[in-house]
Structures are given as structure tokens and as C-alpha cells.
Amino acid sequence: MKNINIFLLVSLLVPYVSIAGSQFCFEREVSIYCEAELGANYSLNGYFVKNSKHYDFAARRAFDGGWCQDALKSIMTVMKSAHYCMEFEESEKNVDLTIDSVVSRTSQWTYFQ
């Protein structure tokens, strides 16, 4: 009976795992850059290694160069803090992540306003 309950619990939770969200905290800056895309668009991308695992991340969409440079500048400001955290939409089981926010005690950047 106990096994069945555990199975049911796992079955209910599995579909929600992929968007459970994750947060990684850092003491140093991670690599982040703007990449030229279609037309005058730029995408915001980056990567980091945590617990010997390589993660790539990107913002949801490419927008114009001004948007990307502004986002990059804001994120770099947050990353200058001694301690900051990055939040992603997916759980840490994923290695391709969607960046939602970068937050320190004194400043922050969020994709959605």
C-alpha cells in the first residue's frame, strides 16, 4: 500500500518537475553575452558550471540590440555584488535554462517587469 502511495505521489509530481524552477547563487560573475540574430535582433545567452555540471542559459526571445545591451549592463551590475542569485524557469535537472531574474541584496534584473 505504501509503495502504491509513493507511486501515485511521484506520478502526480512528475509533470510539474520540468517547470519547478531553479535558483543558483554565485560569488563571482558568470559568462553572459549578446549574440547577433535575425535582422537587428540580439539574443541574451550565457553559461556557468555548478557542482561540476555545465549549464547554458538564454532569455526567452531575441529583441533589438539596445534591449540586449541594457539587459547585459543591468545584469553585470547585479553580478558585481559579492553574492547574487540567478533564477531560471526550469529545474536544475535541465542543462538548458531560461533566465527569469538576477537578484542581489542591492539590485536586480528581471525579464518580465
What span, in angstroms and rounded, lies between the C-alpha atoms of 44 and 83? 22
Least distance from other proteins to the Cβ atom of residue 63, Å: 5
Q: Nearest Cα to 98, choosing from 52, 54, 49, 44?
A: 44
The binder of other proteins chosen from 24, 26, 63, 77 (CB under 8 A): 63
Nearer CB in complex with other proteins: 61/105: 61
The window from 3-11, 25-33, 53-61, 75-83 that contacts other proteins (CB under 8 A) reads: 53-61
Cell of 91: 529545474
- Which range binds other proteins by CB under 8 A, 1-9, 23-31, 61-69, 79-87? 61-69
The nearer residue to other proteins, 13 or 25, going by C-beta atoms, is 13
Going by C-beta distance under 8 Å and a sequence separation of 6 or more, which residues neighbour residue 24? 48, 50, 55, 85, 86, 88, 92
Residue 21 near residue 88, CB atoms below 8 Å? yes
By CB under 8 A, is residue 9 in contact with other proteins? no
Does 73 interact with other proteins (rule: CB under 8 A)?
no
User: Among residues 51, 59, 42, which one has the least CA distance to residue 96?
Assistant: 59
* Residues near other proteins, by CB under 8 A: 15-19, 36-39, 41, 43, 45, 56, 58, 60-67, 89, 96, 98, 111-113
